Structure 1
Amino acid sequence: MSGQSVAPPPPYLVDPTRQFRPKEGCFMAVSSDFTSMMSYVVSLILVLFSCNVIHGVTRHLSQPRVIPEIIVGLIFGNNRFSDSTTAADSAIARTLHAISEVGMVCYMFVLGLEMDPYVLFLPPTREVMVAYTGILSTFIVACIVIPFLTLSKHTNLRYVLILSISLSNTASPLLTRLITELKIGKSDIGRLAVSAGMHSDMISTLLISIGLISIPTREEGVYIGEIVFLTALVFIQVFLMVKGLPSFTNWINDNNPEGKHMNGPHLVLAIGTVVMVCCFAPLAAVSPIMNSFLTGLIIPRGGRLSKMLTNKINYFLSVLFYPIYFCWVGMQADFRQFKTKDWHTWANLLLLFIAATLGKISGTLIAGIMLGFNWPESIALGLLLNIKGHFHIYCAMIALEAGAMNTGSFIDMVIVSILTIVYVPLVVAFIVGRARKRSCLQPMTLQWLDPGSELRMLLCLHGPHNVPTAINIMEITRGGHSGLVVYATDMIELNSRTAATLVQGEDLDAVTVADETIVSMREQISNAIQAYMDASGDGISLHRMLALSTFSNMHQDICNIAQDVSASFIILPFHKSQKVDGRMDEGHANFRNVNRKVLRHAPCSVGILVDRGLGLINKVKSHSYVSLNAAVIFIGGRDDREALAYAGRVSRHPGVTLTVIRFVHDTNADNSSILAGGIHIAGSLKQVEEEMRIDDECFAQFYDMHVAAGKVGYAEKYVANSAETVSSLRGMEGQYALFIVGRGGPGGRANTILTAGMNDWEECPELGPIGDILSSSDFSIMASVLVIQQHILKHDIEGISDEFSVM
């Protein structure tokens, strides 16, 4: 018996006390795991919330979202997630590491999608010269400086070369978004910076990806023979992708045209193919970063599939991945190992920043000398191209994990990346300041524009519902002239979703948004306007523009576009729309604020169009048949003179019957009671007389040119005060489909007796007293109104509070 093994007792014979303890331990273990999981979920929510809060503060300093994400990631990574365990051993560190790896694969894939590799085979342009000189000079400076840094005992030539190329790189997605948000994307230097940044990012990332072939993704090393095998494998894979992926992508695009729902099986097949191709290289021990970048680079940029993938992946990255990624970075950047008292730490930080900055600036200065740039612009361009971002920090992370860089040096790289971002708004402010000093400050008005010369008009749109009205405005503004240039501009709000879909436009000269809803809306607008242009657009030159901005800054985008294209007239849609019963709805308050800010800051004359049926006219006819009765109200002042100048162009259209109605002060009436009530003429008597003299001269010229020639009807209204003015206006109800009036702000109308007191009960001060009356539902439900304000250099406009006028 002693030699036989004794079987353990059945579970039910075990002591109850001992039976209960394992259960209690299991319950406590499950409870502990659940508590730990909930703790990390709460931490993630706090991370996202903190990023939004800090971004709400830093965006007033024009800082991008990546800055608060880095700050929050470093703080939480060093405190909340670390606890008492080391980052390498903790489960959360492994989880964040896996998420970061997958996210960087997606990031590099989209980066490749946004680039066009065929530009490498085209003749070099100035963007290419700026990019290549910047890369080469920075690489040389970095190769000289990095060996003298105390990175790690295990640093070798391979990592020195990779880090040098990394410092030569430009974070083009971040640069593109910053330049777009800071409103210089349509300027020459903005386009040059974006294009050069794309070239620099493409070449540098391609070199880094090739260099990563020699870095093993597993712990054991690789031999030269294996490196040669992996290199050959990659070339074979690239060859097969070049032969197969474009054809496959074009087949998907051809079978899923724009405007229709994506075919489900095709979508699954496309995503599955992309995932399979991206996963091929990691199975062969090749870096997945390189493979995903090459895959995105080979897939054609155009087409629905590329736009959809870019849109969805960018949205995922910006909303969820980047905060998690920087938490992982924060866990690796253990500030307890950052020796602040060691001078080597600060020397490394300073030398890294100087190497990157000095290299880029010297490169752009050399390119500037060859291309004839001014040296301040060359330096500013170098500072813009020096921006570092997510991929640069990831390259430093690779070196840290491989032992080629210590933690202190890794923290230096993170800080250098932050420093290259925070100064960008200051550089942009310097560029804008220099441009404004060189710009001409003469007013852009219709009154002083030769009636026979070309008119450049910025026509803003909220959506497809504005298109019929916009077409009729284009038609009547063309009049009988052949020189109308229209910049049809879509006003799109820039929020977190649309910001995540910003992509490089065609020919590397523009930035656009890839959100499917916005793309579909813009195509619908473009198709409708183009149909009009094809049918009867003779004499009109059409350009499509995009004012992509937050509502608080959209006025800047509109004003910048108007200044860039030298527009003389901006037409904005009224913030209210007409309902089915004919009355106006409550409107969009944000668009109203944009209109009010544009009135204050516009570089040219501005018109606000209240549409109440103008778009219902199919199209104003071009022949002798009259299809639109219009009237221009003239009381006096610069805004009314501007309205008269615009009406002169409209009067030449054969499909428009125009009547000019002049309100004249009836001096025979008894106005003593009005004057006694405190109503008086604004300004000194001499100023009023001078303004009225200019009004008479302007009206006499209009009369001789249009009324006397029989092209325009004429009527006079003698009124003694504002009450009679309102009564006369109401008497015109139902007679005209379009009223053209001046806004008549302070200084915009001298003879204020005819409008005195109207400002006290204005519903929309941005329309002025006359425009507000004509636009009210009590006046008419069928008459559209175009309220015009003449451009002035002194932006002193009544009715626009400081709350709505902050730049």
Structure 2
Amino acid sequence: MALRSLAPNSTEEFTGEVCLKFPPKIVSPGLPALLLDKRRKGNFMDYSAPRLQLQMFIFYVLTQATHILLKNLGLPLFVSQILAGMIVRASNLGDYTYVINRSEDSIAVLGAIGGIGFLFFLFLSGVKMDVSLMFKSGMKAVYFGLPTVLVPLLACLIMNKVYYPGDDFFNTNKFFLAVSYAGTSFPVVHNLLSELNILNSELGRLGLSAALIGDMVTLVLTICSLWMKAHGEVGTKRVLQDVGWAILFLVIVVFVLRPGIKWMVKHIPETSQKKDICFYLVILAFMVSPRITQLFHLHPKFGPFILGLVVPDGPPLGSALVEKSDPIISGLFLPIFATTCGLRVDLASFKEGSKFQINQSIEAVVTLVVKFGVSLALAMFCKMPMRDSLVLAFVMISKGIVEIGYYSSMYDSMVISKPLYAFMIIMNIFIATIVAILVKWLYDPSRKYLCFHKKTIMNSKPNQELRVLGCVHVPGNVNSIINLLNACCPTRESSIALDVLHLVKLSGRATPLFIAHHKQKITTSDDLYSENVVMAFEQFERDHPEVVSLNIFTAISPPHLMYEDICNLAIEHSTSFIILPFHRRWYIDWSIESEDQTIRSLNCDILKMAPCSVGILVEGRRKLSCSTFRDTSSSESYSSYNIVVIFVGGKDDREALALAKRISKDESVSLTVIHLKAKNNIGTILGENDRALDDEMLSGIKGSVRYLEEQVSDGPETSDFLRSIVEDYQLFIVGRRYKCEDPQTLGLENWCEFEEIGIIGDLLSSSDFIGNYSVLIVQQQQQRTS
């Protein structure tokens, strides 16, 4: 570009050439314009918009193709994303499609989008974290969180001293690098445990607590390392000023910003349009947070993360931020960031490695080995099983997208060179791969559910209290379970030890919570999740003094892992019977009120995993209760509540009958047992042992309850018979009898909509049967031995 000007204090004119670098074209003229305007010069891919779209498409295809090949090994998705970038670079794909190597502008646009994605990921990670859990995690988490960062850091510093005896590495980048090698990342550990479905396990909870403490220690050490480096560059006075600004920033965050956000969330109604204003204000704060932290002399990338920690986790604000932002960040922007990080890996640069880079690579490997050894030793010192100790050690050394982002930032800042960057990326991919595979192979939390002892209603002593676990998802489930227990009419001879578990979807927070309300001395914000549940069941306990003992819990966890909380509680409290609400609810006219497939999936998981017997309650329109018909002041009682057991045969039916026998001890309950028998006993698949046990069970109740036999030849006859009696009873108790084919149900199995409640349970729950009754489907404990 020619430029004509005058020299200062001169009338002479001079001419020179000035090179100006224009920013990349960020728009596209549109395909029709390019096709119709023949005078337009240049290629369609000269414009960043179509080029970016093509890049995203190619990255997505390569990522998915790679992940399809590797996902069966248990590899995290981000590994496939990084490998996709390495494949693009290694194959020179950009030379032929204008994807990458057309110009530096392409990298600039991709890097900007990926950088925004990484900052938003750090922000959402901070939103999900509950720093207060550091003070509630217990000493075991502290024992794991602190040494697994400090001891490897010390080992790395000792190696630095050996390599560079006269170097003051506190004033260089070496201490900063050592912190990055020894640090722990909570988001990485959380993603690993979540992908492996062990977030709710005992080991998973310990790993999360230790990672949270380790992450906070790593954050403090990282800030200190930056101050130490600044000490050698700008002097002590400037560093002390930075420390003062940081303390001021911390005071503003803790005592002004966080209380202000809490007040704003608390005083804005849920239904108000002002609720959305909170969301947009926080997003605006995220956009300016890097600049704000710079004003306080902190690294810009700390801004989004610290702001995320300020936002209260969980509903309403934390959940809204995560639910609205996480899909586009995790599904679009963060994958672009991971792929561009892989795109920058130059394997050929290993030939250029210097002595410093080789030493740093060795330090990184040794630090990782020391971190693994410390974690393993601590686990064994706590007397954890060997397999669990190995799993915890692997979890604590896991690496992921956070470390990738830090090394990419260091590469941009020229803290590390191209060979060292390539080595660290490859090492992180290797660690993430090995950890995912070995943890999946070593740890199976369902092993503790193996049934070596029978915990069934049949095996509980007649005069011993029945230990029941009731699960609650929505407010309607509270009445369902209370009404069922009222129908059971507990007495001193047939008392109930009731555990109630309120299951809440984990949203807007990373750490699952398990709250024992009877152990809470003071009311906390977490108690508000189950306030109404606690009040309702405490009233139920007061209505049945000395015959019902009550414990109430709340589990806040991902829906697909809620079975862990249920099974763990059942094992811990030696539960004999779990009551699950059916996933479908009806209005009074039998139209569907609600249907939740997540609850259905949970019920199926419990039926497979439960360490005791399970009942699924399908509630009808009439509320189950017998207490309102009893005159407790009078010695007289009368039959006011009709319960029927449909008995076909098998262990599930025997368990259902055992439950009914306990109910029948109360005189206000009328129990009827209807034995559906195949005509001429033709076609039954029950073995001799099952038939003998059935006869023994039936003979024990024939004299004490109303017993009827009904001869049927096939499924349609059974259906007609049941339809004729649905108006006579308020509660049907049936066995699940999964995959049991009998003449009594022949022809009905093909019409069964919900296999988790069995053929007869599904038949009684269908819209063809109109009546004011409820159905309890019982499955006896499954004897899992492998």
Q: Shorter-chain TM-score: which interval?
A: 0.7 to 0.9
| Residue 617, structure 1, aligned to residue 623, structure 2 | yes
> What is the aligned partner in structure 2 of residue 789 from structure 1?
779
Instruction: Tell me, in whole angstroms, the C-alpha distance in 2 between the residues paired with 1:126 and 1:70.
Output: 35
Structure 1 position 200, deviation (Å): 0.4
SS in 2 for 1:28: coil
SS in 1 for 2:734: strand
Instruction: Tell me, in whole angstroms, the C-alpha distance in 2 between the residues paired with 1:110 and 1:758.
Output: 50
Contact 1:76 1:327 in 2 (8 A): no
SS in 1 for 2:661: helix
Instruction: Tell me, in whole angstroms, the C-alpha distance in 2 between the residues paired with 1:143 and 1:61.
Output: 36
Instruction: Tell me, in whole angstroms, the C-alpha distance in 1 between the residues paired with 2:102 and 2:169.
Output: 21
Aligned length: 725
Q: 1:682 aligns with which of 682, 685, 700?
A: 685
CA gap 1:54/1:577 in 2 versus in 1, 3 angstroms:
farther
| Residue 742, structure 1, aligned to residue 735, structure 2 | yes
Instruction: Tell me, in whole angstroms, the C-alpha distance in 2 between the residues paired with 1:608 and 1:507.
Output: 23
Structure 1 position 397, deviation (Å): 2.3
Contact 2:672 2:706 in 1 (8 A): yes
Map 1:582-593; keep pairs closer than 5 Å: 582=590
Map 1:433-472; keep pairs closer than 5 Å: 433=444, 436=447, 441-460=452-471, 463=474, 466-472=477-483
Deviations 1:126-168 (A, max 9, x none): 1111111111221123334568999xx9999632211221122
| Residue 641, structure 1, aligned to residue 631, structure 2 | no
Quick one: which amino acid aligns to residue 268 of structure 2? N
Structure 1 position 198, deviation (Å): 0.7
Deviations 1:476-533 (A, max 9, x none): 45733553333436486x9xxx6xx442256999xxxxxxxxx99x978x45533422
| Residue 186, structure 1, aligned to residue 167, structure 2 | no
Map 1:506-521; keep pairs closer than 5 Å: none
What is the percentage of aligned positions where both structures have the same residue? 25
Q: Is 101-110 or 558-567 further displaced after alignment?
A: 558-567
Structure 1 position 423, deviation (Å): 3.1
* Structure 2: runs of 5+ lacking an equivalent: 1-10, 14-36, 517-524, 543-547, 632-638
CA gap 1:368/1:84 in 2 versus in 1, 3 angstroms:
same
Structure 1 position 384, deviation (Å): 0.7
> What is the aligned partner in structure 2 of residue 68 from structure 1?
80
Instruction: Tell me, in whole angstroms, the C-alpha distance in 2 between the residues paired with 1:59 and 1:562.
Output: 33
Deviations 1:306-325 (A, max 9, x none): 45445555444312321121
Instruction: Tell me, in whole angstroms, the C-alpha distance in 2 between the residues paired with 1:460 and 1:59.
Output: 34
Map 1:600-749; keep pairs closer than 5 Å: 600-613=608-621, 616-617=622-623, 621=627, 624=630, 628-651=641-664, 657-663=669-675, 671=680, 679-682=682-685, 687-688=687-688, 690-702=689-701, 707=704, 713-719=705-711, 721-722=713-714, 725-745=718-738
Map 1:403-442; keep pairs closer than 5 Å: 403-429=414-440, 432-433=443-444, 436=447, 441-442=452-453
> What is the aligned partner in structure 2 of residue 544 from structure 1?
554
CA gap 1:568/1:262 in 2 versus in 1, 3 angstroms:
farther
CA gap 1:309/1:571 in 2 versus in 1, 3 angstroms:
same
Instruction: Tell me, in whole angstroms, the C-alpha distance in 2 between the residues paired with 1:545 and 1:122.
Output: 16
Q: 2:345 aligns with which of 327, 333, 336?
A: 333
> What is the aligned partner in structure 2 of residue 176 from structure 1?
190
Structure 1 position 289, deviation (Å): 2.0
CA gap 1:681/1:427 in 2 versus in 1, 3 angstroms:
same
Instruction: Tell me, in whole angstroms, the C-alpha distance in 1 between the residues paired with 2:98 and 2:725.
Output: 81
TM-score by length of 2: 0.77
> What is the aligned partner in structure 2 of residue 12 from structure 1?
none
Contact 2:450 2:784 in 1 (8 A): no
Quick one: which amino acid aligns to residue 777 of structure 1? S
Q: 1:162 aligns with which of 173, 176, 194?
A: 176
Instruction: Tell me, in whole angstroms, the C-alpha distance in 1 between the residues paired with 2:245 and 2:38.
Output: 52
Map 1:384-399; keep pairs closer than 5 Å: 384-399=395-410
Instruction: Tell me, in whole angstroms, the C-alpha distance in 2 between the residues paired with 1:75 and 1:532.
Output: 59
SS in 2 for 1:503: coil
CA gap 1:146/1:87 in 2 versus in 1, 3 angstroms:
farther
SS in 2 for 1:739: strand
Deviations 1:742-795 (A, max 9, x none): 23356x79xx56556655665555544433443343343433322212123269
Instruction: Tell me, in whole angstroms, the C-alpha distance in 2 between the residues paired with 1:316 and 1:105.
Output: 13
| Residue 252, structure 1, aligned to residue 264, structure 2 | yes
Deviations 1:417-450 (A, max 9, x none): 2223223344444554598379652233221123
| Residue 504, structure 1, aligned to residue 511, structure 2 | yes
Contact 1:213 1:286 in 2 (8 A): no
SS in 2 for 1:479: coil
Structure 1 position 415, deviation (Å): 1.9
Instruction: Tell me, in whole angstroms, the C-alpha distance in 1 between the residues paired with 2:276 and 2:759.
Output: 56
Structure 1 position 469, deviation (Å): 2.7
CA gap 1:106/1:433 in 2 versus in 1, 3 angstroms:
closer
Instruction: Tell me, in whole angstroms, the C-alpha distance in 1 between the residues paired with 2:88 and 2:724.
Output: 70
CA gap 1:137/1:696 in 2 versus in 1, 3 angstroms:
same
CA gap 1:363/1:641 in 2 versus in 1, 3 angstroms:
same
Instruction: Tell me, in whole angstroms, the C-alpha distance in 2 between the residues paired with 1:727 and 1:580.
Output: 23
Structure 1 position 645, deviation (Å): 1.6
Q: Is 628-637 or 596-605 further displaced after alignment?
A: 596-605
CA gap 1:600/1:290 in 2 versus in 1, 3 angstroms:
closer
SS in 1 for 2:335: helix
CA gap 1:638/1:336 in 2 versus in 1, 3 angstroms:
same
Map 1:46-61; keep pairs closer than 5 Å: 46-48=58-60, 50-51=62-63, 54-55=66-67, 58-61=70-73
Quick one: which amino acid aligns to residue 770 of structure 1? I
Map 1:272-421; keep pairs closer than 5 Å: 272=284, 276=288, 278-283=290-295, 286-297=298-309, 304-339=316-351, 351=362, 354-368=365-379, 370-421=381-432
Structure 1 position 208, deviation (Å): 0.9
Q: Is 357-366 or 619-628 further displaced after alignment?
A: 619-628
> What is the aligned partner in structure 1 of residue 539 from structure 2?
535
Deviations 1:691-733 (A, max 9, x none): 33323333344457xx3xxxxx513124264476555434313
CA gap 1:471/1:285 in 2 versus in 1, 3 angstroms:
same
CA gap 1:258/1:357 in 2 versus in 1, 3 angstroms:
farther
SS in 2 for 1:660: strand
SS in 1 for 2:726: coil
Structure 1 position 412, deviation (Å): 1.6
Q: 1:95 aligns with which of 91, 109, 114?
A: 109
> What is the aligned partner in structure 2 of residue 710 from structure 1?
none
> What is the aligned partner in structure 2 of residue 209 from structure 1?
223
SS in 2 for 1:423: helix
Contact 2:294 2:300 in 1 (8 A): yes
Contact 2:182 2:368 in 1 (8 A): no
CA gap 1:257/1:173 in 2 versus in 1, 3 angstroms:
farther
SS in 1 for 2:510: strand
Deviations 1:160-205 (A, max 9, x none): 2112211222221231233234343333322111100111011112
Instruction: Tell me, in whole angstroms, the C-alpha distance in 2 between the residues paired with 1:299 and 1:332.
Output: 34
CA gap 1:662/1:560 in 2 versus in 1, 3 angstroms:
same
Quick one: which amino acid aligns to residue 682 of structure 1? I
Instruction: Tell me, in whole angstroms, the C-alpha distance in 2 between the residues paired with 1:89 and 1:221.
Output: 35
Quick one: which amino acid aligns to residue 503 of structure 1? A
Quick one: which amino acid aligns to residue 643 of structure 1? A
Contact 2:718 2:744 in 1 (8 A): yes
